[in-house]
Amino acid sequence: MNMCVVGAGHIGQHVLTHLHRTRPADSVTAVDIDPKKVTALRERGFSADTTCPEGIDVDVWIICVSTGPNLAWLFQALDRLSPKPGSLVSIESTLPVGTTRAAAARFRSRGYAPGTGFHLIHVPHRVLFGVDEDPEASTRIIAGLTDACLRAGIDFYSGCGITLHPVSCPELAELAKLVENSARYLEIAFAEALKQACDEHGLDFDQLRQAVNTKSNVHLADVDYGIGGECLPKDLDFLQDWLRSPLLGAAEKTDRRYRRHLVDIASTAKTALLVGLTYKPGVPVVQGSRAIELGRQLKSRGLKVYARDPLLKDDQVAELGFTPYRGAADIDVIYWRGKWETKRRLAP
């Protein structure tokens, strides 16, 4: 069985690594429009190209293309596929509600017959980077365009050792992923509102959180520099397009207000230090980092901004526009991700 992963970013590489571990190496290939990604994958021993190689006989296509800020990349990738009869096309990217059916309609307009000629499924990826990186560790939600599609999908993913939770239509699988990420967004936004109020009333948020969390059915989340990364903000917007609830709008507003609050804390400061720059602790990714956004806002207000991160080298910190902190300077405001304190000198 030949497999092709389309879109070799964070998720695509995760899928590729898993397939390489469990399948013959020459049965797995990747396609990504970014030549740098292709070169890097080849250096790691993967078969990869910027376009699908001519004459390649693919049984399973796994689509991991990014879906924000609009779906143009996803549809461009799907429009380039020529699924052979009996093959499987699995979309693992996170989708707005209705996208799997929209994809099916595009295939039909090109003369393909999803559901009868080939199988189309949605299996949203749900790895928690930095926590559970093993694809077999989390149960996956799966839905097919038809029952036959679902059966073909279950055969393939069970064969990969993955535990599945089937749902009866693609819309439920699409929603399940959006709800999962939006629930996380809401719990962080609630924590941000409380943290800001604690700051304003001179109360210790950490103590509040520890006290609340002694109740077994309550989990008050911790705060960071704001809700960043690419997925949570994007997926909340996808869900809002379907749900249209004031609750989600209020959560976005709360997060924006909290990020402004972090900037305002340093309103009279001349120097600031950011301890932690990645988009979340423990993951060496800076795209979508609210820490970087905060640092740039502070710089635009005239502050000298130092930074350090256990996952980044000094030259990476400098490339991001900040002064690597080596312990020499007095600092007016130190941000420890969502926490902050004033006037201190850190050990080198």
Ligand X SMILES: NC(=O)c1ccc[n+]([C@@H]2O[C@H](COP(=O)([O-])OP(=O)(O)OC[C@H]3O[C@@H](n4cnc5c(N)ncnc54)[C@H](O)[C@@H]3O)[C@@H](O)[C@H]2O)c1
Q: Return the DSSP state at 26.
A: G
Q: Are 238 and 176 in contact, with CB atoms under 8 Å apart?
A: no
Q: How far is the CB of 287 from ligand X (least distance, A)?
A: 8
Q: Are 83 and 89 in contact, with CB atoms under 8 Å apart?
A: yes
Q: Which is nearer to ligand X, 83 or 307 (CB)?
A: 83
Q: How far is the CB of 17 from ligand X (least distance, A)?
A: 13
Q: Which residues form the interface with ligand X (CB under 6 A)?
A: 6-12, 31-34, 37, 64-67, 73, 76-77, 93-94, 125-127, 129, 231
Q: Are 288 and 230 in contact, with CB atoms under 8 Å apart?
A: yes
Q: Which is nearer to ligand X, 51 or 207 (CB)?
A: 51
Q: Which is nearer to ligand X, 80 or 345 (CB)?
A: 80
Q: Which is nearer to ligand X, 129 or 242 (CB)?
A: 129
Least Cα distance to 60 among 21, 28, 87 occurs for 87
Q: Which is nearer to ligand X, 119 or 177 (CB)?
A: 177
Q: Return the DSSP state at 84.
A: P
Q: Which is nearer to ligand X, 177 or 195 (CB)?
A: 177
Strand partners, 122: 91, 143
Residue at shortest CB range from ligand X: 9
In this structure, how many other beta carbons lie within 10 angstroms of the beta carbon of residue 285? 15
Q: Return the DSSP state at 27.
A: G
Q: How far is the CB of 126 from ligand X (least distance, A)?
A: 6
Least Cα distance to 12 among 141, 146, 187, 135 occurs for 135
Q: Are 100 and 133 in contact, with CB atoms under 8 Å apart?
A: no
Q: How far is the CB of 60 from ligand X (least distance, A)?
A: 16
d(CA 236, CA 61): 27
Q: How far is the CB of 221 from ligand X (least distance, A)?
A: 17
